[in-house]
Structure 1
Amino acid sequence: MSVLSGKKILLGVSGGIAAYKTATLVRLFIKAGAHVQVIMTPASKDFITPLTLSTLSKNPVYSSFYNQDDDNEEWNSHVEFGLWADLMVIAPATANTLAKMANGVCDNLLIATYLSAKCPVYFAPAMDLDMYIHPSTLESFHKLKLFGNTMIPAEKGELASGLSGEGRMSEPEHILAFLEANLEGKLPLKGKKILITAGPTYEAIDPVRFIGNHSSGKMGYDIAECAAIMGASVILVSGPSHLKIDNNLVQFVPVVSAQEMYEACHTYFSDVDVVIAAAAVADYRPKEVSVQKIKKESEKFVIELEKTKDILASLGEIKTKQFLIGFALETENEIENAKLKIQKKNLDLVVLNSLQDVGAGFGTPTNKVTFIDKNFKVEPMELKSKKAVANDIVNKVIAHFYD
């Protein structure tokens, strides 16, 4: 999955012949999973129609401060556009538009939005060779970089004038690759490897029956997705779950039983920086597993159980550099039991769930957790979506490395 997935991209299109390439650029952004809002200068509509970009972006395209055909003259707020975006890309960025950006000449909606933007801004120059190397253009480049904007370098090739040289707007595929590489290099967990367990384990009774629990795995899958978005390489060891994950930074390792999860965790443990044990692992398993389906022959049926290996405790015993996070699902004496778990299993952080809290636990889209660190600092959180809780957990990991 692209690092642009879920990002809100504001695409500014100015009036150069390269504007025709923005149809492909919008399509690539959408395919990468981004949300795209297009703002055009009035001159750019001579090169590509708003209808084309609106159709591809699935959003209205704006080019003026208000709709002159609307009697109500509703204002198109450049401030709201600037606040909405996660990043702004101006492509093509003509010499005229670059000069306006560099000098604050605010005479159209695109420049007003640029001046209001609170997000990172990227610009892809596009113009003829003589314009590209003119001192005034070079001064615009210099000023915009000083402002913190990022230039997507122009390419060499045949230009609209018939000349050949530098000034050709970077191809849409290259713009996409540039943005992905630039954003990935700034991700806080880039270069970190995280092992995450998720879901239930099933402990076989016979070929068709098992002991299990109601865990869907959603909490662990959301953590894996969030960690990958932050740049981490993730190993997701998951028990049986209907959930799927599609991200090339996530290595999926399916398991069924507690023993299989134990073996998988120990296989990868020495090579990871962080472990987040979100799985609901069975504490006991049948001592004997029937090779044939057990028939219903008597009124009572007794299964002798034995303890499964404690995955988290075993990792705590051998950890060296790893930041070890465990989950605790409690119904009574929650804080004290969680603190005992930290001590017994040599954990750095516990994420405490209480079944006493409405909206927390198995089978819900929400969760309410309390963080308790190895120094017994207790930090209760509000009820949130599991995605938001996953983000909070990943932020704890980031804080461990950077605070």
Structure 2
Amino acid sequence: MKRNRRQGVAAAVALLLVLLWLPTAEAAKDKPEMRNLAAGIGYTWSEQPEPSYGDTGNKLTDGKYGTTVFSDPAWAGHLRKSTRSVIFDLGEKKSIGRIQAHFLQDSSVGIAYPNTVSMYVSNDGAQWGNLAHIPSREVRWADVPASTQDYVWDGSKDGLGQHHPNATMAYAQYVKVTFTTDVFVFVDEIEIWGTDGKGNKTKQVTADRLAYQEPGRATGGMRDLVLLNNGNGSGSWTKDALMPYISYVNQQGEPQDWLFDGVLFQSVLSTSGKDFTKGTATLSDWTAYLDRIFAEQGDLQQLNEAVIEAGVKLGDRGHKVKVVLMMPNPGDTLTDFGDVDGDGMTENFNSAVIGADAAYANKQKAVTWWIQQIKQRWKEEKYGKLKLNGIYWGSKASA
């Protein structure tokens, strides 16, 4: 009797498990597998690749991946100028769960990974909602053998962000992929994985609202900021040369009203010819730049005197101009930057030599030193008509 009862209980449990399993099995059966929706379709470039590394119209969707040899015909190459975009029309709205783009790096011939690859979707091909801005995972311009890298947005891992926190797929007809171009950028394939129709966790992505930055807390109160180059052999700024930027002047050069309320000083090249934006300038270059702009009659003092003079002539002696100073790019290649922390060892920024973590820590030392130097020197000089408003990270850096 007990044995029959146990057998009955076992049978009931088995039946319950089957019943629980059936909906899951049916759901898995009904759920379509993702496929590459871009396979074999056409697309539109914002700007055609270089003729020597051109695109016949199907390189990005023909399923042919390039080797690490840049002359492989599978690659399409773009040279400098503006950020490139490529737009795909899927024909109708579909569920998009993964977008990936494949790039080449060969620093020996000037080909670098994009600093950033961005991915968007749209319902009309005009208004776009961003899915991701993806930085390079690999060191750019590293002196290592040629390699390739995928930039990937994966909805199951990355989601739709602010658009729909719980969604894993975007419902859209158009896909746009953009990438920055430093020197040469080579791309061979872009894949858009998804399914036809609209799935359970598929949501439509709202188009981004595009607008100019409004003055306020995010801008430090600045309304109009002018960038003034104070390097590249251009010499130092004088009070008279600065006057037409901070004030509207007449033909005689006399101030009539205030103009830019913010001034950004930036230099691309050091006096020794090293590049502040690409990470070739060393500690001595960084120091020389600071010495020059903070000098007794340097750019900052000249600006301060220009504001004083304009304030007197305009009857507004209390007016101040906000100042933003540049942040040099430490870069990824220097092995002998200089000793910024006094430990007797030069800072090495080359991750291929000392590893990514150590290189990153050394770059942090250099950046911290720069910020501390600016704050300290600014405090010592006491520019009465200037306000230090920020530090500008203008380079395409990986630090």
Q: TM-score if structure 1 supplies the norm length? A: 0.26
Query: Which structure has greater helix proportion?
Result: 1
Query: Which structure has greater strand proportion?
Result: 2
Q: TM-score if structure 2 supplies the norm length? A: 0.27
